[in-house]
Amino acid sequence: MSAYRTGDPLGRRRFLTAAALRGATVIGTGALSTGALSTGALGTGVIGATALGAVDADAAFAAPIRPLDPAVAESAFAEGRITAINHDVLEVAGSYGDHSRVRVTNATSVWKARATTAADIETGDGLYARGLPLPDGTLAADAVWVNIVNLHATIRGIEKTRLHLAHGQHEIVGNLMARTTSAAYGDASPTADLSRLTIGQSAQVLGAWRPSDGSVDLVRVAVAPGAGRRR
């Protein structure tokens, strides 16, 4: 899978704006995800990676990077917790008491432990969003990363289905996900083989936070080259 769409003749600003003004055709028939407290519904259409988009971590890591649209300099950014979902607009409470309205369009890529659809976004989720500010005050998002974390941690324990991690002064449970969690040993390509992870290693943990219990679904655990090398 290519991390970046090729051959797109549309300018990013024009595409996002058009998508937003059309009413975001991605919206419509999707049901709310289980457990969502939303007041609206986001659609179920697959929202693929864009030229700037959020994509599967390993694919993004391995794929060639294509030039970004010059409009990136005009990009805006929002972060915080989603308090409500009104059709295609995410109401976001920022971490400093600010408030943002993030519009999801058919040009938006969504990442939530993997490339996914807007239907997976729930109230209570945290997000980082990048996009273009529209005249109505919303941010037309070209990429939304839901619950994404990228933490420097130390591996404190290893179980069959989870890792115990120390992040600063805090303990975090990292959930291993079948067919998703990979390990990156230095400059080698990420692998599903986690057997070389060892207790005491420094690790960079890319994953998705679970608001329900505070744990992290692990997407990639990166350790230094040579760490855990077989003897």
Partner 1 sequence: MACGSTKLWNGEATWFCCGNAWGPCASAGGGACGTCRSSALQAAWPNASKACWDLTRPDLCGEDIPRRGCGSVMKVRHDCSGASVCVTVSDCGPRTRSFCSESTCCDGVCRTNRVIDLTPAAFSAIGSLSSGTLPVSIFE
Cβ 72 to partner 1 shortest distance, Å:
6
User: Which residue number, 41 or 180, has a Cβ lying nearer to partner 1?
Assistant: 180
CA distance 48 to 5: 8
Q: Is 5 in the site for partner 1 (CB under 8 A)?
A: no
Q: Is 53 in the site for partner 1 (CB under 8 A)?
A: yes
Among 161, 170, 193, 195, binds partner 1 (CB under 8 A): 170
Query: Which residues, 6 to 45, sit near partner 1 by CB under 8 A?
Result: none
Q: Is 226 in the site for partner 1 (CB under 8 A)?
A: yes
User: Which residue number, 22 or 152, has a Cβ lying nearer to partner 1?
Assistant: 152
Q: Is 173 in the site for partner 1 (CB under 8 A)?
A: no
User: Which residue number, 45 or 124, has a Cβ lying nearer to partner 1?
Assistant: 124
Sign of the C-alpha dihedral computed for residues 221, 225, 227 and 230 taken in this order: positive
Among 132, 209, 217, 218, binds partner 1 (CB under 8 A): 209
HEC profile of the chain = CCCCCCCCCCCHHHHHHHHHHCCCCCCCCCCCCCCCCCCCCCCCCECCCCCCCCCCHHHHHHCCCCCCCHHHHHCEEEEEEEEEEECCEEEEECCCCCEEEEEEEEEEEEECCCEEEHHHCCCCCEEEEEEEECCCCCEEEEEEEECEEEEEEEEEEECCCEEEEEECCEEEEEECCCCCCEEEECCCCCECCCCCCCCCCEEEEEEEECCCCCCEEEEEEEECCCCCCCC
Q: Is 183 in the site for partner 1 (CB under 8 A)?
A: no
Cβ 202 to partner 1 shortest distance, Å:
4
Query: Which residues, 55 to 94, sit near partner 1 by CB under 8 A?
Result: 55-57, 60-61, 64-68, 72, 75, 77-81, 94
Q: Which stretch binds partner 1 (CB under 8 A): 5-13, 21-29, 37-45, 169-177?
A: 169-177
Tokens describing residue 217:
């679904």
Among 20, 90, 107, 126, binds partner 1 (CB under 8 A): 126
Residues that bind partner 1 (CB under 8 A): 3, 52-57, 60-61, 64-68, 72, 75, 77-81, 94-96, 111, 126, 128, 130, 143, 145, 147-152, 167-170, 172, 186-187, 202, 204, 206, 209, 211, 214, 216, 219-220, 222-226
